[in-house]
C-alpha cells in the first residue's frame, strides 16, 4: 500500500545535512585515494613493461626546441619467443629498439613509405636497438640524445619480431635546456602554463576581495546565495593556485609535488560540484525548500561524474601517451555531460515538483539573459575543451581561462546584492512549497 506523506521541515533539514555529510565523506575518500596514488610524473616517466607482444608502443609526445634532450634508461630487459610450434626461433635484437619521430615524418611514413618495420624507416631518428645492450637477459642501458631540430616528436618503442614478448623497466626524460643549464620539462608550447594559472589565481582572489567589499557595502540586500558565490571564488582561486604550483614543479623538476597535487584534485572536485550546484540553484526560481531538493538531486548526479573526471585527470598523466588519449576523452565528455545534464535536470525537476509554474516562469524571465549566457558559455567551453584536449598548449589554456573569467563576471554581475533586485524580490514573493513524495 502506498502512502503520500509530506516531509516536514525537520526532515528537510536532516536530508540536507545528510547530503552535506555525503559530500564530506566523498572528499575524504578522494583525499585518501590521492595520497596513496602514485604521483603523476609528467615528462619524467617510469613504466614497467611485462611480456608485451605489441609491435609499437607510444611512450610520450613532446615539443622540443633546438636545445632539446631525451634520456632513456632501461633495465631488467628480457625478450622471449611465443612458442607456436616445436621450432622456437630466437628474436632478432636488431629489430627491437627505441626511436623518435616527428608529426610531419609520420605523414610521410604512412603515405609515401612502405616498410615492414618502423626501425627501417628513413624518416625516424633511431636511438638504439636491443643489439646495443649486452648481455641479455637482465641487462640495462642508459643514454641521452640531443634534439637539434625543433618540432613535435613522439618517443616510441618498436618490436618487429612476430611472436615475441618484451619485458623491461623504462625511465624516460624529455626536456629543453634554457640558458645552457636550466632544464624545462614542459613541452615548448606549454612552458607558459604555470604563469597563466598563477596570474588567473591572483585575478580570482582579487575578484573575491571586490565581491566581499560589495557584499559588505550592500549587506541589507545580501542573500544566502552570495555566500555560495564567494565560496566558489575561493575554490576557483585555490584550484588555479595549486595548478600553477604543480605545473611549475613539473617544469623545474619533471615531477609534481605530492602535497600540491593532492590539494589540486581536492579543490578541483569541490569547485566543480559547487559550480554546477550553484547554477542549478540560480536557475530554480521557486521556494528555498524546493531549492534544497533540486540542489541535492543535482549533486547526486554531478558528484559521481566529477569523481570520474578527477580520477581520469590523474590517470591521464600517469599512463602512456597512447592510453592517455582514452582517459582524456572520457574526462572531457564526462565534464561536458555535466553541463548538458544540468540543463535537462533543471527543466525536468521543476516540472516534476513545482506546483506553481507561473511563478517559476516569472522568475526565469528575469534571468533569461543569464540563461542565454550560460548556454553560450557551455558551447564555447565545449569548443575550447576539444581544442585544449587535442592540443594542450598555453594558448588554449589562456582561451579557456578567459572564457571562464568572462562568464564568472557576468554571473556575479547579474546576482550582485543591491536594492530592488527583481530576482530576489521574486523569490521573496513566492509561496513556500513543501514537496510531496511517495513513500
User: Rounded to 5 degrees, what are φ and ψ at 428?
Assistant: -70, -30
| Residue 221: C-alpha distances to residues 230, 287, 425 (Å) | 15, 18, 10
Q: What is the mean pLDDT of residues 39-58?
A: 78
Q: What pLDDT is stored for residue 112 in this prediction? A: 82
DSSP code for 96 = E
Cell numbers placing 193: 602554463
CA 306/CA 239 separation, integer angstroms: 15
Determine the distance from the C-alpha atom of residue 277 to the mean position of all C-alpha atoms in its chain, rounded to a whole number. 19
Spatial CA neighbour of 43 closest among 331, 327, 251, 315 = 251
Over residues 250-293, the pLDDT tens digits come to 899 988 777 777 787 778 877 877 887 777 777 664 444 344 44
CA 60/CA 45 separation, integer angstroms: 9
Percent of the chain residues topping a pLDDT of 70:
62
User: Rounded to 5 degrees, what are φ and ψ at 393?
Assistant: -140, 170
- How many CA atoms lie less than 13 Å away from 267 in the CB half-sphere? 21
Cell numbers placing 114: 612502405
Over residues 355-369, the pLDDT tens digits come to 455 555 555 566 677
Q: Which residues contact 400 (CB under 8 A, 6 or more apart)?
A: 381, 384, 385, 388
Cell numbers placing 197: 594559472
Domain edges within the chain: 18-42+190-434, 44-184
- Say whether pLDDT at 385 is over 90: no
3-state secondary structure of 325: helix
Q: What is the mean pLDDT of residues 206-212?
A: 96
Cell numbers placing 434: 513543501
pLDDT confidence band for 434 (50 / 70 / 90): very low
| Residue 179: C-alpha distances to residues 176, 182, 184, 257 (Å) | 10, 6, 11, 25
> Within 10 A of 20 (CB to CB), how many other CB atoms are there?
12
To the nearest whole number, what is the mean pLDDT of the chain?
Answer: 74
Strand partners of residue 74? 141, 170
| Residue 121: C-alpha distances to residues 105, 106, 213 (Å) | 10, 10, 65
CA 134/CA 141 separation, integer angstroms: 9
pLDDT confidence band for 408 (50 / 70 / 90): very high
Topology (CATH level 3) of domain 44-184 = Jelly Rolls (2.60.120)
Regarding pTM above 0.85, the answer is: no
Give the CATH number of domain 18-42+190-434: 1.20.1070
Over residues 232-241, the pLDDT tens digits come to 999 999 999 9
Spatial CA neighbour of 141 closest among 71, 221, 74 = 74
Would strands 436-438 and 4-6 be described as parallel, antiparallel, or unpaired?
antiparallel
Q: Which residues contact 380 (CB under 8 A, 6 or more apart)?
A: 403
Over residues 124-164, the pLDDT tens digits come to 999 999 988 867 555 788 889 999 899 999 999 999 998 88
Sign of the four-CA dihedral 313, 314, 318, 319:
negative
CA 170/CA 312 separation, integer angstroms: 23
Show the CA angle centred on residue 341, arms to residues 306 and 228, nearest 5°: 60
Spatial CA neighbour of 168 closest among 199, 130, 194 = 130
Amino acid at each position: 500500500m502506498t502512502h503520500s506523506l509530506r516531509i516536514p521541515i525537520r526532515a528537510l533539514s536532516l536530508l540536507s545535512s545528510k547530503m552535506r555529510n555525503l559530500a564530506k565523506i566523498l572528499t575524504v575518500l578522494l583525499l585518501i585515494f590521492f595520497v596513496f596514488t602514485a604521483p603523476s610524473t609528467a615528462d619524467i616517466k617510469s613504466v614497467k613493461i611485462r611480456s608485451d607482444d605489441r609491435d609499437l608502443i607510444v611512450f610520450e609526445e613532446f615539443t622540443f626546441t633546438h636545445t632539446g634532450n631525451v634520456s632513456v634508461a632501461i633495465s631488467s630487459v628480457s625478450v622471449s619467443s611465443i612458442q607456436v610450434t616445436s621450432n622456437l626461433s630466437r628474436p632478432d635484437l636488431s629489430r627491437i629498439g627505441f626511436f623518435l619521430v616527428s608529426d610531419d615524418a609520420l605523414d610521410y611514413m604512412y603515405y609515401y613509405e612502405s616498410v615492414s618495420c618502423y626501425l627501417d624507416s628513413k624518416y625516424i631518428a633511431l636511438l638504439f636497438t636491443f643489439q646495443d645492450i649486452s648481455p641479455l637477459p637482465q641487462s640495462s642501458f642508459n643514454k641521452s640524445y640531443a634534439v637539434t631540430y625543433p618540432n613535435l616528436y613522439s618517443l616510441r618503442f618498436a618490436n618487429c619480431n612476430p611472436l615475441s614478448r618484451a619485458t623491461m623497466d623504462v625511465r624516460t626524460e624529455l626536456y629543453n635546456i634554457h640558458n645552457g643549464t636550466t632544464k624545462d620539462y614542459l613541452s615548448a608550447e606549454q612552458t607558459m602554463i604555470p604563469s597563466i594559472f598563477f596570474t588567473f589565481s591572483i585575478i580570482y582572489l582579487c575578484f573575491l576581495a571586490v565581491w566581499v567589499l560589495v557584499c559588505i557595502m550592500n549587506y541589507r540586500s545580501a542573500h544566502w546565495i552570495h555566500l555560495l558565490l564567494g565560496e566558489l571564488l575561493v575554490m576557483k582561486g585555490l584550484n588555479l593556485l595549486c595548478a600553477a604550483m604543480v605545473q611549475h614543479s613539473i617544469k623545474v623538476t619533471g615531477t609534481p609535488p605530492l602535497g600540491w597535487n593532492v590539494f589540486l584534485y581536492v579543490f578541483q572536485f569541490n569547485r566543480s560540484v559547487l559550480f554546477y550546484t550553484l547554477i542549478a540553484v540560480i536557475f530554480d526560481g521557486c521556494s528555498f525548500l524546493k531549492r534544497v531538493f533540486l540542489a541535492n538531486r543535482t549533486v547526486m548526479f554531478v558528484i559521481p561524474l566529477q569523481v570520474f573526471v578527477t580520477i581520469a585527470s590523474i590517470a591521464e598523466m600517469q599512463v602512456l601517451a597512447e592510453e592517455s588519449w582514452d582517459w582524456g576523452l572520457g574526462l572531457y565528455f564526462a565534464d561536458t555531460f555535466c553541463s548538458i545534464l544540468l540543463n535537462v535536470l533543471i527543466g525536468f525537476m521543476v516540472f516534476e515538483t513545482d506546483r506553481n509554474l507561473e511563478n517559476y516562469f516569472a522568475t526565469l524571465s528575469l534571468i533569461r539573459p543569464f540563461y542565454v549566457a550560460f548556454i553560450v558559455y557551455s558551447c564555447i567551453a565545449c569548443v575550447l575543451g576539444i581544442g585544449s584536449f587535442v592540443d594542450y598548449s598555453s594558448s588554449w589554456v589562456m582561451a579557456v581561462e578567459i572564457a571562464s573569467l568572462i562568464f564568472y563576471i557576468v554571473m556575479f554581475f547579474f546576482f550582485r546584492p543591491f536594492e530592488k533586485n527583481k530576482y530576489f524580490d521574486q523569490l521573496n514573493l513566492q509561496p513556500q512549497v513543501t514537496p510531496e513524495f511517495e513513500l
